[in-house]
């Protein structure tokens, strides 16, 4: 008798993911065709019903003060505030009690084409991100334009596809006209968001020139705090029209003949937050975003516009803000933003690394919940348009976020938010990369916040740059995640996490590039004490040779890099796995993130 596979046939009664579960599993026991199997996960009360079918294919105030008050009131950023005590794991495989982690790969089964903008980044006029970061005219390492040549080389090599600018909280008090025209005429301005002096020596035209040099695209942020829709449309005209209008001619007067043709624009930043300059209600913001979108599209109908979503699950208005905003502007925008910073602080994880390394699954829950709200409003409006998401601020951040680390004291380029990242931070960033890949069907833009010096993978000093630990998983995603995201079936043993339920020890994501046949597999081992053996089962065809095999691991989860010891935490060569009989088998170390790329 042909093998029987249980295939999903009915919806979840109360699923953790609002998108539902799709796919198939190969090892649920069925006695005959059309048997119904009910599964009740430990993590919640959702009932999953499967119908057995014959199937031989087995592949199937200020922000800082607000956050401190929120934490003391129990609105921690941890998963407990998101899930209310239950959590449905993102990897929908049956429990695996063996030591072997089985991964089923079929290049015909994909989640979505991978938009390269999923691995963008962010530069804000904050601390040393711009000044002393990418722009430092007095440095021996800078070119004639004042751009740091070492940073240019690094970003060009990384191939960062899109970079958000100029903020962030900064943008809600920024007048873009202060940063264009002759530099000697530009005003020195107090940035009230970070209590810092902005000299305005670096502005829109400098950023566009820098983007061209490093080979990236701009994601332009707009001031919808103190700014107006008319001023937003004027910036579009300045950037995108050729000539013959007030603002396009001003750009040409400033020495820029060709328009920039900027495609992607963010309509404000975190306008739900009481720390935000110009904070307003959801309805007020939604109407302002609608007006700005209309005026901007009168100038350039080709724009892709991103409305400002909730600042995160810690907000008391989480999701309700998104719904109210979209009720006003759904028809005028293309995407909705999400933000999230992950912490291993006592209030969130109790300092428990095993819980911290599971936090990427809460990112997936946040995405699913936000998608559900977008689709709810779409249904209300009976709109044919489906919104995509822009996760345009995400990272680990919890140490350098208060006191002098977040207050510029009226200084130029103060050292703000200069988080020092350790090994466990890098492992979670790897998990967050995996989560973004798995949600690539709806997340089309995402920005690691930020890029240089400020909560960043790269730090600079007068003599060079430093790759922090989180650089490596981010760079691996940029280099080896290409083509389409694979819909993997992963069978992994699990462990219990308080208020999250059962979490897989091993988290796996992958991509397949149909253009060259390369496969990339990204593996997070959350197990703090044990290595795990992975068995990759190639369902349609076995791959060619291993092109890349690297691992990031170590015995000290708190280890970090410094300018004096820049390789303290760095990738190590990983034994290239062999493939026999359609299977590749290898062992990943405890506390590790691994990338392997195969040729066709």
What pLDDT digit, counting tens, does each position of 94-122 carry? 444 568 999 999 999 999 999 999 999 99
SS3 427: helix
Report which of residues 48 and 500 the model is more confident about: 500
Mean pLDDT of 124-134: 98
Residues taking part in catalysis: 270, 393
Q: CA 425 to CA 255: how far, in whole Å? A: 44
- Smallest Cα–Cα separation from 267: which of 216, 234, 225? 225
User: Which residues touch 117 (CB under 8 Å, ≥6 apart)?
Assistant: 161, 162, 217, 264, 444, 445, 446
Distances 431 to 18, 281, 351 between C-alpha atoms, Å: 21, 34, 18
Is 70 exceeded by the pLDDT of residue 200? Answer: yes
| Omega cis (within 30) before 421 | no
Mean pLDDT of all residues belonging to the chain: 88
Beta carbons of 402 and 438 less than 8 angstroms apart = no
- Smallest Cα–Cα separation from 216: which of 165, 153, 162, 150? 162
Number of H helices, E strands in the chain: 13, 31
Dihedrals φ, ψ of 35, to 5°? -60, 145
> What tokens appear for 6 in the block?
């249980």
Mean pLDDT of 409-436: 98
SS3 268: coil
pLDDT for res 73: 39
pLDDT for res 90: 36
Flag the least confident range among 475-479, 496-500, 551-555: 496-500
Is 50 exceeded by the pLDDT of residue 25? Answer: no
Is 80 exceeded by the pLDDT of residue 137? Answer: yes
Mean pLDDT of 3-23: 33
Beta carbons of 338 and 321 less than 8 angstroms apart = no
Mean pLDDT of 258-284: 98
Domain 114-481 top-level CATH class: alpha beta
pLDDT for res 48: 37
Report which of residues 405 and 78 the model is more confident about: 405
pLDDT for res 219: 98
> What tokens appear for 539 in the block?
């369902």
Q: CA 303 to CA 337: how far, in whole Å? A: 16
SS3 482: coil
Mean pLDDT of 161-187: 98
- For the beta carbon of residue 212, count every other beta carbon within 10 angstroms: 12
What pLDDT digit, counting tens, does each position of 76-92 carry? 333 333 333 333 333 33
What pLDDT digit, counting tens, does each position of 3-12 carry? 333 333 333 3
Query: Cα angle at 411 between 407 and 412, to 5 degrees?
Result: 115
pLDDT for res 186: 98
What ranges do the domains of the chain cover?
1-60, 114-481
Is 80 exceeded by the pLDDT of residue 39? Answer: no
pLDDT for res 99: 80
Distance of CA 194 to the CA centre of its chain: 23
Q: CA 237 to CA 598: how far, in whole Å? A: 46
Which residue reads 């046949």 in tokens? Answer: 517
> What tokens appear for 91 in the block?
């990897």
Mean pLDDT of 288-295: 98
pLDDT for res 499: 87
> What tokens appear for 65 in the block?
């003060």
What pLDDT digit, counting tens, does each position of 450-463 carry? 999 999 999 999 99
pLDDT for res 463: 97
What pLDDT digit, counting tens, does each position of 304-336 carry? 999 999 999 999 999 999 999 999 999 999 999
What letter does residue 177 receive in the DSSP assignment? G
Beta carbons of 558 and 425 less than 8 angstroms apart = no
Is 80 exceeded by the pLDDT of residue 554? Answer: yes
DSSP string covering 96-146: --SSEEEEEE-TT-EEEEPPGGGGEEE--SSTTSTBTTTB-TTSTTB-TTS
Beta carbons of 308 and 269 less than 8 angstroms apart = yes
Q: Any idea of the CA torsion for 124, 125, 130, 136, to the nearest 10 degrees?
A: 180
> What tokens appear for 51 in the block?
């119908």
DSSP string covering 291-335: HHHHHHHHH-TT-EEEE---S-TTSTTTTHHHHHHHHHHGGG-SE
Dihedrals φ, ψ of 104, to 5°? -105, 120
The alpha carbon dihedral of 595, 422, 69, 276 has a sign of: negative
- Smallest Cα–Cα separation from 192: which of 143, 126, 122? 126
Flag the least confident range among 73-77, 184-188, 208-212, 489-493: 73-77
Q: 435 forms bridges with which residues in the sheet?
A: none
Q: CA 6 to CA 419: how far, in whole Å? A: 47
What pLDDT digit, counting tens, does each position of 366-378 carry? 999 999 999 999 9
Which residue reads 């009910």 in tokens? Answer: 38
pLDDT over 70, % of the chain: 84
Q: Residue 344's pLDDT band (boundaries 50, 70, 90)?
A: very high
pLDDT for res 361: 97
SS3 278: coil
């Amino acid at each position: 008798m042909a093998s029987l596979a249980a295939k999903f046939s009915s919806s979840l009664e109360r699923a953790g993911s609002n998108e539902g579960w799709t796919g198939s599993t190969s090892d649920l026991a069925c006695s005959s065709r059309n048997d119904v199997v009910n599964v009740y996960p430990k993590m919640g009360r959702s009932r999953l019903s499967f119908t057995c079918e014959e199937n031989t294919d087995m592949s199937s105030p200020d922000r800082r003060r607000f956050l401190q008050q929120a934490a003391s009131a129990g609105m921690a950023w941890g998963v407990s505030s998101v899930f209310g005590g239950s959590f449905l794991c993102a990897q929908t495989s049956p429990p695996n009690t063996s030591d072997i982690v089985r991964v089923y790969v079929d290049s015909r089964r994909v989640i979505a084409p991978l938009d390269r903008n999923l691995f963008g980044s962010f530069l804000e006029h904050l601390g040393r991100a711009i000044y002393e970061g990418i722009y430092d005219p007095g440095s021996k390492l800078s070119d004639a334009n004042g751009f740091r040549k070492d940073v240019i080389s690094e970003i060009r090599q990384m191939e960062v596809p899109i970079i958000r600018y100029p903020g962030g909280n900064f943008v809600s008090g920024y007048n873009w006209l202060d940063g264009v025209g002759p530099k000697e005429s530009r005003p020195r301005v107090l940035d009230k968001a970070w209590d810092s002096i902005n000299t305005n020596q670096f502005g829109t035209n400098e950023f566009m020139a820098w983007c061209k040099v490093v080979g990236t695209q701009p994601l332009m942020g707009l001031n919808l705090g103190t700014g107006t829709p008319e001023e937003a449309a004027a910036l579009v005209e300045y950037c995108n029209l050729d000539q013959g209008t007030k603002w396009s001619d001003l750009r040409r007067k400033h020495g820029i003949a060709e328009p920039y043709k900027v495609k992607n624009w963010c309509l404000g930043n975190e306008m739900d937050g009481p720390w935000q300059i110009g904070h307003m209600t959801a309805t007020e913001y939604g109407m302002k975003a609608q007006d700005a979108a209309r005026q901007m599209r009168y100038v350039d109908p080709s724009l892709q516009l991103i409305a400002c979503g909730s600042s995160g699950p810690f907000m008391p208005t989480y999701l309700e803000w998104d719904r109210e905003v979209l009720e006003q502007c759904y028809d005028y925008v293309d995407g909705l933003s999400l933000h999230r910073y992950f912490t291993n602080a006592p209030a969130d994880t109790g300092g428990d690394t095993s819980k911290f390394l599971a936090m990427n699954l809460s990112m997936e829950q946040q995405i699913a919940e936000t998608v559900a709200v977008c689709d709810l409003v779409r249904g209300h409006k009976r709109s044919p348009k489906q919104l995509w998401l822009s996760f345009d601020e995400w990272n680990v951040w919890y140490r350098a976020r208060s006191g002098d680390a977040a207050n510029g004291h009226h200084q130029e380029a103060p050292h703000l938010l200069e988080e020092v990242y350790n090994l466990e931070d890098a492992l979670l960033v790897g998990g967050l990369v995996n989560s973004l890949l798995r949600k690539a069907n709806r997340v089309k833009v995402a920005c690691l916040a930020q890029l240089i010096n400020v909560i960043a993978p790269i730090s600079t000093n007068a003599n060079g740059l430093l790759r922090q630990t989180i650089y490596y998983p981010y760079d691996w995603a940029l280099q080896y995640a290409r083509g389409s995201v694979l819909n993997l079936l992963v069978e992994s043993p699990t462990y219990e996490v308080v208020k999250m339920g059962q979490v897989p020890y091993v988290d796996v994501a992958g991509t397949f590039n149909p253009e060259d046949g390369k496969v990339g597999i990204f593996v997070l081992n959350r197990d703090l004490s044990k290595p795990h053996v992975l068995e990759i089962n190639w369902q349609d065809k076995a791959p060619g040779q291993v092109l890349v095999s690297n691992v990031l691991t170590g015995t000290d989860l708190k280890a970090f890099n410094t300018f004096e010891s820049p390789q303290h935490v760095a990738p190590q060569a990983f034994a290239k796995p062999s493939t026999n009989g359609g299977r590749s088998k290898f062992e990943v170390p405890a506390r590790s993130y691994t990338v392997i790329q195969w040729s066709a």
